[in-house]
Amino acid sequence: MEYVPLHSVCDSARNKRLILTSPPHITSSNIMDQNRVVADRFTTKPAAEAYSCRQLDIVDPDEECKYDPFMVTEYIQDIFKYMRTMEDKYPIRKDFLNGRETTPRMRQMVIDWLVGVCLNFNMRIETLHICVSLIDRYIQDNEAVRNISQLVGISALFIAAKYEEIYYPCLCDLKFTCSYIYSDRKILQTERDILRKLDFGLGRPVSIHFLKRYGHIAKVNTIHHVLGKYMLELALMEYDMAHVKPSLQAAAACCLSIGILNGISDLSSLWNPTLIYYTGYEYADFEDVLVCLAKILMTSDTSSFQTIRRKYAGPECQQISSNSLLKGSLVRRLVGMATHQ
């Protein structure tokens, strides 16, 4: 009996199967066409440029990273459009502390304390911004809570850390920061109450999200971004800024940081057609916010709360809070505008 290798039998059976199941119209040219279609699926094609962009000399800020899949440039405009709808969906009302026992100074005390807590736990700046947003929204939507306490602050920070951080602090650490005044049960009860009152709506964007995008569009340097972050963090302390949309605050901080550090007095000239197109804001839309940020910078060193200023005086923040340009002619002129209004 003749010996037949097993692999030959398998190959023969597999070939017969292919002959029986393959459609008779398959040809080598069809196979090449199909391979070309499959390859096209994994090739990122450049997005079509709008005619209005060419007319207004608008520069694509994502041109250099268009083929980087991690930058998701084909979705970036839709993402920030959605974020703009979310800040409208979850607004913070002006004068939301009216009728409450809490004063703006009490709010400043809690936020200043939270800045220090975030520093101790080495938390992201987004966590701090989200925490302050949760506090403001919780107070304005909950008439039963008439004042802001450390309990509300630490419970909001617990939620924000879970939402933003990879590793968030445990309850034991949070109790330590409050000098063990509150029990595990009390912190968890307040955490649940905040989530219920906000209907688990944690998707409100914060100004730092927009600042990163606007800085990318404006092609700023690292020091410009650090100054923008510093101004936005100082703005967290100001009750009069709480109701201003995060995207507006970011646009003003981006524009003012470039003007201060580059020595440009005409800020309106900085807000070019590219920035107008991709941010959706004209310069006039945030001019009043610019003036408010200038006032905050001018009075930052005389404030009773210096945690943020000390934080940005370190070398890791390029000692931006002690930069003499922060009280230069541009800032003084903007503050003078506010005085004469």
The model's pLDDT over 64-92, given as tens digits with 9 standing for 90+, comes to 888 888 888 889 999 999 999 999 999 99
- pLDDT given for residue 331 in this prediction: 94
Q: Domain check: are 171 and 222 in the same one? A: no
Answer with the one of 197, 223, 245 that is the final residue of a domain.
197
258 CB-near residues (< 8 Å, 6+ apart): 218, 220, 224, 264, 270
Q: Domain check: are 215 and 333 in the same one? A: yes
Q: Of the candidates 159, 327, 321, 148, which has an alpha carbon nearest to the alpha carbon of residue 239?
A: 148
**Structural domain includes residue 159:** yes
d(CA 309, CA 292): 17
pLDDT for residue 130 is more than 90: yes
Look over the chain and give the mean of its residue pLDDT values, rounded to a whole number.
85
**Structural domain includes residue 15:** no
- pLDDT given for residue 14 in this prediction: 44
**Structural domain includes residue 277:** yes
**Structural domain includes residue 331:** yes
Q: Domain check: are 179 and 224 in the same one? A: no
- pLDDT given for residue 118 in this prediction: 97
- pLDDT given for residue 64 in this prediction: 86
Give the domain CATH number at 172: 1.10.472.10
Q: Domain check: are 162 and 122 in the same one? A: yes
- pLDDT given for residue 44 in this prediction: 42
**Structural domain includes residue 25:** no
Domain of residue 293: give its range.
207-340
The model's pLDDT over 131-188, given as tens digits with 9 standing for 90+, comes to 999 999 999 988 767 667 899 999 999 999 999 999 999 999 999 999 999 999 999 9
**Structural domain includes residue 10:** no
- pLDDT given for residue 195 in this prediction: 96
d(CA 36, CA 72): 24
Q: Domain check: are 239 and 189 in the same one? A: no
**Structural domain includes residue 34:** no
| CB distance 125 to 317 below 8 Å | no
**What is the mean predicted confidence (pLDDT) over 32-57?**
49
pLDDT for residue 17 is more than 80: no
d(CA 289, CA 241): 8
Answer with the one of 166, 197, 228 that is the final residue of a domain.
197
Q: Domain check: are 216 and 311 in the same one? A: yes
Number of structural domains (the chain) is: 2
Query: CA angle at residue 289 from 145 to 296, to 5 degrees?
Result: 75
pLDDT for residue 196 is more than 60: yes
Q: Domain check: are 106 and 216 in the same one? A: no
Q: Domain check: are 170 and 267 in the same one? A: no
Give the pLDDT band of residue 47 (cuts 50, 70, 90). Answer: very low
Q: Domain check: are 163 and 219 in the same one? A: no
Q: Domain check: are 286 and 335 in the same one? A: yes
Give the pLDDT band of residue 1 (cuts 50, 70, 90). Answer: very low
Q: Domain check: are 229 and 189 in the same one? A: no
Q: Domain check: are 315 and 219 in the same one? A: yes
Q: Of the candidates 122, 123, 147, 121, which has an alpha carbon nearest to the alpha carbon of residue 135?
A: 147
Answer with the one of 151, 176, 197 that is the final residue of a domain.
197
pTM: 0.82
- pLDDT given for residue 338 in this prediction: 66
**Structural domain includes residue 40:** no
pLDDT for residue 2 is more than 50: no
Please state which of the ranges 5-19, 61-75, 187-201, 307-321 shows the lowest mean pLDDT: 5-19
**HEC letters along the chain:** CCCCCHHHHHHHHHHHHHHHHCCCCCCHHHHHHHHHHHHHHCCCCCCCCCHHHHHCCCCCCCHHHCCCHHHCCCCHHHHHHHHHHHHHHCCCCCCCCCCCCCCHHHHHHHHHHHHHHHHHCCCCHHHHHHHHHHHHHHHHCCCCCCCCCHHHHHHHHHHHHHHHCCCCCCHHHHHHHCCCCCCHHHHHHHHHHHHHHCCCCCCCCCHHHHHHHHHHHHCCCHHHHHHHHHHHHHHHCCHHHCCCCHHHHHHHHHHHHHHHHHCCCCHHHCCCHHHHHHHCCCHHHCHHHHHHHHHHHHHHHHCCCCHHHHHCCCHHHCCHHHCHHHHCHHHHHHHHHHHHC
**What is the mean predicted confidence (pLDDT) over 116-128?**
96
- pLDDT given for residue 243 in this prediction: 97
The model's pLDDT over 282-324, given as tens digits with 9 standing for 90+, comes to 999 999 999 999 999 999 999 999 999 999 999 999 999 999 9
The model's pLDDT over 216-230, given as tens digits with 9 standing for 90+, comes to 999 999 999 999 999
